Structure 1
Amino acid sequence: MATKEIILNKIQILITNNFKSPEAAFAFFDKDSNGKLAKKEIVSLLKQAEISGFLRGIVASKLIEGYDKDGDSLIDWEEFKFAIDEITTDANK
């Protein structure tokens, strides 16, 4: 099973290699342009990051659980930015 570090690394690689900025990645995956990522939008991000289909739903739920600070079951820009900053910090250790 993929570890948290492997999953976060794949997300970082996806964003770094395919988008000019984290903002561009967020806008791309925010399909309904409501300023928040729903679970299905996060699953799409995970698919692009080449996370196994079996794990995507579980990982999406865990990401929401871990980074949804306002409890709305969505990831807004500030929560996404916090997650990306944490991923980047962890990757540079």
Structure 2
Amino acid sequence: MTTEESILNKIQILITNHFQTPEEAFEFFDQDNDRKLNKGEIVKLLKEAEINGFLRGIVSSKLIEGYDKNKDELIDWEEFKMAVSKIKKA
């Protein structure tokens, strides 16, 4: 299993075990209720998913880089859904 697959798997386990729906997970981590996840909120999600502290900053940047389609350096609900759908396929 690659590192990316391992990280996506841990995120899927977090969402599945602690939330009824992906939207509930998104709302939980969207601490400022702006319907977007900033880098700090993504780092918190990664921490909860038990991603190594050293990797969290790198992974959060890569997630934003890979899924931020409108290039605002935030992950909105639509972008989050896209990421979650990839997780389910992984």
TM-score band w.r.t. shorter chain = over 0.9
The aligned counterpart of 2:68 is 68
Alignment of 1:1-93 (within 5 A): 3-90=3-90
TM-score (normalizing by structure 1) = 0.94
Q: What letter is aligned with 1:14?
A: L
Deviations 1:10-63 (A, max 9, x none): 000000000000000000000000000000000000000000000000000000
Distance in 2 (CA, whole Å) between partners of 1:86 and 1:6 is 13
Please give the root-mean-square deviation of Cα atoms over the aligned residues, in Å. Answer: 0.8
Distance in 1 (CA, whole Å) between partners of 2:86 and 2:22 is 13
1:89 Cα offset (Å) = 1.2
Structure 2 runs not aligned, ≥5 long: none
Distance in 2 (CA, whole Å) between partners of 1:10 and 1:87 is 10
Q: Which runs of 4+ in 1 moved over 4 A?
A: none
Distance in 2 (CA, whole Å) between partners of 1:7 and 1:23 is 19
TM-score (normalizing by structure 2) = 0.97
Structure 1 runs not aligned, ≥5 long: none
